[in-house]
Amino acid sequence: MSDIFTYNTMLVLLGTSLLGAASGLIGSLAVLRRQSLAGDAFSHAALPGLCLAFMVVGERNLAALLLGAFISGILGLVVVSLLRRYTRIKQDAALGIVLSTFFGMGVVLSRIIQNQTIKGSKAGLDSYILGKTAGIIASDVYLIGSAALLCLIVIVFLFKELELLTFDADFARSQGWPVARLDLILIILLGLVVVIGLPAVGVVMMAALLILPGVTARFWTDRLAAMLPVSVGFGVITGAVGTWLSAEYANLPAGPIIVLIGAGLFLFSSVFAPRRGLIARWRRANIIDTSLLDLDTPVFEA
């Protein structure tokens, strides 16, 4: 087993764990804000910007690519919210329209790039769609680490505001809090994590990584201050165990395995979590039923 943990594997492991942490942190806020699918839409909508940046800068300049992806992702989500506000298009259809049209545009552009450039250099773009976890290098780890750190700093700094926003946005609005601006900050952080995670795990898996740790953590606690670290923990476990498994068994692709580990944790929590799990709910329901059937015992103590 020791030969598995080479320098490269350690880097990949570190990278995916940090990515898990960052997406656990920001994803749990997105889940609470009923924005779970924003990550999905963002990661699809980022593709055309990525390709355009590629066409403009010509070679693989990471900063430019990420900026392009980020801008078009944000643009996609802005279109979603404009459609929802000013037309009769509902949220779900708006997400679907943006997601498919932007992604279609990305596919069109990436094929054009593929025709123009010499074979091989296009592999860089393809990995953004399907993800190439094994390709994580030291600079990627720094990048993911700084994104995670930035999310952490912003969330700690705005904790009180975000707590109110996620649990009662209407109250926050009525108290004069800048709800729209806070939502925008959240979306920007989300976009940052998505853009940085895309090359590692790909479009669909990135969406999963943003949702799973958050919803899983929600089973275990009702307090945001507890939920965030729990979610980060789940994110780290998901990323690390998934990477380790796929390194152990050579033909298992890392992205999907990471998602399946996350799904396993989710399933376990949904069944066994104390109060919110299936068993707890089922027992609670039964307790009420039997006491109601037993007419001799008063349901409420005097």
Partner 1 sequence: MNMIAFWTILVGILAGVSCSLVGCYLVLRKMSLLGDAISHAVLPGIALGFLLSGKISGPAIVMGAMVMGLLTAYLTQALSKAVKVPEDASLGVVFTTLFALGVVLISVKARNVDLDPGCVLYGLIEFTPFDTTSVFRWEIPQAALTLGATTLFVLVAIILCWKELKLASFDPELSTSLGYPASLLHYFLMALTAGVTVAAFEAVGSILVVAMLIVPAATAQLLTDRLRTMLLVASLLATASAILGYWGGERWNTSVAGMMAVSAGGLFFIALMLAPKYGLVAKLVKQLGLTFRILREDVLGTLYRNQERHGIGLSGADLLPGQLTMVRWMTLKSLVRRQLVNSDQGTVSLTKAGQDRALQLVRAHRLWETYLQQNVALPADHLHAPAEKMEHYVGPVLLDSIAEDLHQPAQDPHGREIPAQHSATNSGR
Q: How far apart are CA 178 and CA 104, in angstroms?
A: 35
Q: Which of 181, 209, 185, 183 is closest to 43 using CA atoms?
A: 209
Report yes or no: 238 and 201 within 8 Å, Cβ to Cβ: no
Q: Which is nearer to partner 1, 5 or 282 (CB)?
A: 282
Q: Which is nearer to partner 1, 11 or 204 (CB)?
A: 204
Q: How far apart are CA 258 and CA 261, in angstroms?
A: 5
37 near partner 1, rule: CB under 8 A: yes
Q: How far apart are CA 252 and CA 263, in angstroms?
A: 16
Give me the 216-255 binding string for partner 1, x by CB under 8 A, dash otherwise. --xx-------------------------------xxx-x
Q: Which is nearer to partner 1, 82 or 156 (CB)?
A: 82
Within the chain, residue ranges assigned H as helices are 7-32, 38-57, 62-86, 91-116, 123-130, 138-157, 159-167, 169-174, 179-201, 203-218, 224-248, 254-272, 278-293
Among residues 103, 220, 234, 244, the one that binds partner 1 under rule CB under 8 A: 103
138 near partner 1, rule: CB under 8 A: no
42 near partner 1, rule: CB under 8 A: no
Number of CB atoms found within 10 A of residue 57's CB: 15
62 near partner 1, rule: CB under 8 A: no
* DSSP summary character for residue 133: G
Among residues 75, 93, 152, 184, the one that binds partner 1 under rule CB under 8 A: 93
Q: Which is nearer to partner 1, 110 or 221 (CB)?
A: 110
Q: How far apart are CA 110 and CA 51, in angstroms?
A: 6
Give me the 162-181 binding string for partner 1, x by CB under 8 A, dash otherwise. --------------------
- In the complex, the smallest distance separating the C-beta of residue 257 from partner 1, rounded to whole angstroms, is 7
Q: Which is nearer to partner 1, 104 or 178 (CB)?
A: 104
Those residues whose C-beta lies under 8 Å from the C-beta of residue 57, and which sit 6 or more positions away, are 64, 65
Task: Enumerate binding residues for partner 1 (CB under 8 A).
Answer: 31, 34-37, 39-40, 83, 86-93, 95-97, 99-112, 115, 126, 129-130, 204-205, 207-208, 211-212, 214-215, 218-219, 251-253, 255-257, 259-260, 263, 266, 270, 276-278, 281
